[in-house]
Amino acid sequence: MEWEAVIGLEVHVQLATKSKIFSGAATTFGAEPNTQACAVDLAMPGMLPVMNEEAVRMAVMFGLAIGAEINTRSVFDRKNYFYPDLPKGYQISQLDHPTVKQGKLDIQLENGEKKTITVTRAHLEEDAGKSLHEDFHGMTGIDLNRAGTPLLEIVSEPELRSAKEAVAYLRKLHSIVTYLGISDGDMSQGSMRCDCNVSVRPKGQKEFGVRTEIKNVNSFRFVEKAIQGEIERQIDLIEEGGKVTQETRLYDADKDNTRSMRSKEFANDYRYFPDPDLLPIEIDDAYIEAVRSTLPELPEQKLARFCSEYGLSDYDAGVLASSRAQADYFEAATKIVGDAKLTANWIMGELAKRLNQNSLDISQSPVTAEGLGKLLLRLKDNTINGKAAKDVLEAMWNGEGEADEIIEKKGLIAVTDDSAIEAFVDEVLANNAAQVEQYKAADEAKRGKMIGFFVGQTMKISKGKANPQQVNEILAKKLS
């Protein structure tokens, strides 16, 4: 039987406010436990929440960015459940009247086609604290620094059909919230994490299968592995005569599988009711339009501009525009070089290789955009050749200085004098008479590959300083 997966995501995005959603406590990551939790976050008797307007503004920004309708009247509710790291015994969230209503988001599939995913809603809520199990000798410690941190929960319709589609959707969301500047999107610090609702059904069947929810997956790679593993588990279970149970599961990255966490609570179990301590949020059209006027250029707009303004291909523009930091880096470097294609090639090639090897984001690159721009300027004006440029980049990566300083120190200035290069070529041809005869005896189709030998020998004699294009031209003349 052919099976089809049905996937919906609930993505929790930590909003980049300086203080919490209902208190003035700071939200800085990495502080000592319980140093960023005030009386409101600790749920001390008599403490009342006060709405952080900045969180509302950020939610509205997101809604406008995905073409969603903004609710002019949204309401906070109490979602009741008991966890040790939730001292109030309830989480303040939004149920029937979220700030952001339905919107759309386009993703690109592996075959290059676009698919539109419906965003059901995006609602504001507070985060809970964190349970600490290490260093407490059989007990559990509680850190309430995260309690009250503002979250935007973005819920999709179950329109994703594979783990790769889910990752494409998540990457697109990540791109949008970071472009907007409403979240740093740092998944390693919990700024963006994902609950994955997964079910399977025979292909062609309209009814959904029984779904499971995989909680708090915090990397693109883990989301893909967790969903793919869960799809295969459910199919195997059904084909062996078993039944999928509606439950919450956890992804174990070490074992690369999911395991049962608890049976799934239904919405009614939370006993939602409007929070009596918070007034409804009422915003008007003037406010919405004022927020709309602050929206930055978004990924798809930037991609289109990169194609039209810089003449880049859809692929190059798409890669560079996939993150705001990378797009800004590209434009800053291009401004110095004046050659967009050359800059794009080096960012997507040599620089990306080093970033990937060191698991760094481009915003953490030891080589700044200005530094790369100055290096490529020396490549473009033939001060250095391509091989030397790679050596300079490596030195810059290792903190040995700026491009001009390294070029001077290492004596990497290219040899571009025709007579000097001709002398190198003559020496190579004289030292390799047999290869010259073989080259001249070969047909045209083989000569293209054979000339590489002479180019390599010439570059070796010139200690890598000869201009390769000039070497090729002079060799072609002398061997003709």
Secondary element (H or E) of residue 386? helix 386-397
Predicted confidence at residue 459, as pLDDT, reads: 86
**String of DSSP letters for 184-236:** ---GGGTSEEEEEEEEEEETT--S----EEEEEE-SHHHHHHHHHHHHHHHHH
Pairing of strands 212-217, 247-252: parallel
Q: How buried is residue 53: exposed, middle or buried, by Cβ count under 10 Å (0-12/13-18/19+)?
A: exposed
Are 415 and 466 in contact by the 8 Å Cβ rule? The answer is: yes
The CA distance from 150 to 174, in Å, is: 17
Between the alpha carbon of residue 46 and those of residues 39, 42, 49, 76, the distances in Å are 9, 11, 10, 19
Are 80 and 274 in contact by the 8 Å Cβ rule? The answer is: no
Structure tokens at 49: 């929440």
Predicted confidence at residue 264, as pLDDT, reads: 60
Are 214 and 27 in contact by the 8 Å Cβ rule? The answer is: no
Q: What is the CATH number of domain 418-479?
A: 1.10.10.410
Query: Using one digit for the tens of pLDDT, what is the confidence trace for 14-69?
Result: 999 999 999 999 999 989 999 999 999 999 999 999 999 999 999 999 999 999 99
Predicted confidence at residue 268, as pLDDT, reads: 55
Predicted confidence at residue 418, as pLDDT, reads: 85
The residues pairing with 152 across neighbouring beta strands, listed in sequence order, are 13, 124
Query: Using one digit for the tens of pLDDT, what is the confidence trace for 377-420?
Result: 999 988 998 889 999 999 999 999 999 999 999 888 878 888 88
Predicted confidence at residue 267, as pLDDT, reads: 47
The CA distance from 263 to 242, in Å, is: 17
> Which portions of the chain are predicted below pLDDT 70?
264-268
If you ran DSSP here, which 8-state letter would residue 93 be given?
A: E
Cβ neighbours for 405, distance < 8 A, ≥ 6 positions apart: none
Query: Using one digit for the tens of pLDDT, what is the confidence trace for 261-303?
Result: 877 655 457 889 999 999 999 999 999 999 999 999 999 999 9
Angle between helices 433-441 and 418-431 (to 10 degrees): 90
Angle between helices 444-461 and 418-431 (to 10 degrees): 110
pLDDT, the chain, mean: 93
Neighbour-count burial for 271-284, b at 16+ CB within 10 Å, e otherwise: ebeebeebeebebe
The CA distance from 16 to 184, in Å, is: 7
Are 78 and 55 in contact by the 8 Å Cβ rule? The answer is: no
Domain ranges of the chain: 3-287, 297-410, 418-479
Closest CA to 99 of 139, 151, 37: 151
